[in-house]
Amino acid sequence: MNTLLITNPANGERIAELHADDAASVAAKAARARAAQPAWAARALDERKACIDRFRQFVVRDLESLAATMTRETGKPIRMSRNELNGLLARLDFFVGMVEPVTAVETVYDEGGMLERIEHVPLGVVGNISAWNYPWFVGCNVIVPALLTGNAVLYKPSEFATMTGLEIARLLHEAGVPPEVFVCLVGAGPVGAALLEQKLDGVFFTGSYATGKRIAGAVGSRFLKLQLELGGKDPTYVCDDADPQAAAESLADGAMYNTGQSCCSVERIYVHEKIHDAFVEAFVRTVKAYKAGDPMAEDTYIGAITRGPQLDVLDAQVADAKAKGAKLLCGGHRLPGPGNWYAPTVFSHVDHRMELMREESFGPIIGIQKVGADDEAVTLMNDTRYGLTAGVYTRDGERAQRILARVNAGSLYWNCCDRVSPRLPWSGYGDSGVGLTLSTYGIQAFTRPRAWHLRAP
């Protein structure tokens, strides 16, 4: 029997041993989903909306235990687990509220007996391979609009958030989504790879660039809908007119929230030389006040590093930065275990020769670089292969928009960071991926627009 061991990254304890899928069970489940999808699509939209409304009620009902499960398997501080679940509710409301207007049949021409209409039909059976860092958010960004628009979903949660994935399945099934229409597959990369071998109409992936590239290689020639939401190296520029204290507090949170394990974590900071020293001092003071410890404790801010091997990436970036002349202001080392822990780490005097400023850290470490002018900041912000988000802190909104208009990123922030809205599309430039979720476009993404040409006799 295949099994998947679930370990608590905060203390190394084994939490569960789950029965895992294999190639045969994945194929059988995919066949059942294929058979069940047309009946699901044929249901009235109101019925599918009612399922998601009930799912929402069950998330509210079970919120404390769902938060605890997520915290135990990912090491996410409990307050942040609750925040994610509460934040999810607005996304569910958005999808339920918008699915009808954005997928209704549109008449785009009606003259002289000729009628032209656009119809949005479901893709069919979609595969969703997901990440662990915000499993409710990134899972439901795909699962919920896909189900609402009449698709069947084969969902492979991360092996580091599988208990949460199974909870999502439990609540969707309790809410009335047939078990063949929403299927949770259990296992690591090979189970994801087995999913890609099935007949699918869409593949929606959230995860690392390396895996995204592998997935594009596996399915690219099959002409199915492929979306990849990948990593980032998200920059922020703090202008000379910004309040250094307020900007530092906001950006420290943007860099360290969820222990730096967010796709849109602030990963690079550029500060105008006029306020650089004041900003750095306030930033380090803020970070030093963050409490690391038991993720179940209410006052914990820095939790565990979910994937053990990421500690090696953080160590390597720290060593490389030190070797190339960066100044370590705090942290720079692992914290004692058991479990996977890293001290919040801040460097100044960094530059783009350093891995810390080029490759995704995905942990509680950040480099702060001094710049002399807006143009220099724009050049540095664009010196990356990624392009998920970018931000500017300044009192001057026109200046912020002028700067941000020149930056290659899917989401642009003025005086804020590490923020996602259900109303806005979530997408990236370059190696941050292709396609999008959220917003009305992120509902239509699960449909195929069909063109009707209707001439009256």
Please report where in the chains the tokens 């500017």 appear, as a residue: 392
Residue 144 interacts with ligand NAD (CB under 6 A)?
no
In the three-class reduction of DSSP (H, G, I as helix; E, B as strand; rest coil), residue 176 is classed as coil
Annotate 443-452 with b (16+ C-beta within 10 A) or e (fewer): bbbbbeeeee
In the three-class reduction of DSSP (H, G, I as helix; E, B as strand; rest coil), residue 221 is classed as helix
Q: Which of 139, 207, 235, 430 binds ligand NAD (CB under 6 A)?
A: 207
Residue 81 interacts with ligand NAD (CB under 6 A)?
no
Number of Cβ within 10 Å of residue 288's Cβ equals: 13
The upper half-sphere exposure of residue 436, i.e. CA atoms within 13 Å in the direction of its Cβ, equals: 21
Q: Which of 43, 117, 173, 214 binds ligand NAD (CB under 6 A)?
A: 214
For ligand NAD, the closer of residues 141 and 149 by Cβ is 141
Residues 218-247 within binding reach of ligand NAD (CB under 6 A):
229-232
Query: Which x/- pattern, by CB under 6 A, does the window 409-438 give for ligand NAD?
Result: -----------------x-x----x-----
Residue 85 interacts with ligand NAD (CB under 6 A)?
no
Please report where in the chains the tokens 């090979």 appear, as a residue: 190
Nearest Cα neighbor of 368 from 270, 441, 222, 457 is 270
The upper half-sphere exposure of residue 138, i.e. CA atoms within 13 Å in the direction of its Cβ, equals: 28
Residue 155 interacts with ligand NAD (CB under 6 A)?
no
Residues 10-69 within binding reach of ligand NAD (CB under 6 A):
none
Residue 293 interacts with ligand NAD (CB under 6 A)?
no
For ligand NAD, the closer of residues 305 and 321 by Cβ is 305
For 35, the enclosing helix (H) or strand (E) is helix 23-42
Residue 258 interacts with ligand NAD (CB under 6 A)?
no
Residues 346-365 within binding reach of ligand NAD (CB under 6 A):
360, 362
Tokens of 90: 């607005």
Q: Is 51 a catalytic residue?
A: no
The dihedral sign for the CA sequence 76, 80, 82, 87: negative
The catalytic residue among 239, 263, 264, 417 is 263
Interface residue list for ligand NAD (CB under 6 A): 129-134, 138, 156, 158-159, 188-189, 192-193, 196, 206-208, 211, 214-215, 229-232, 263, 307, 360, 362, 388, 426, 428, 433
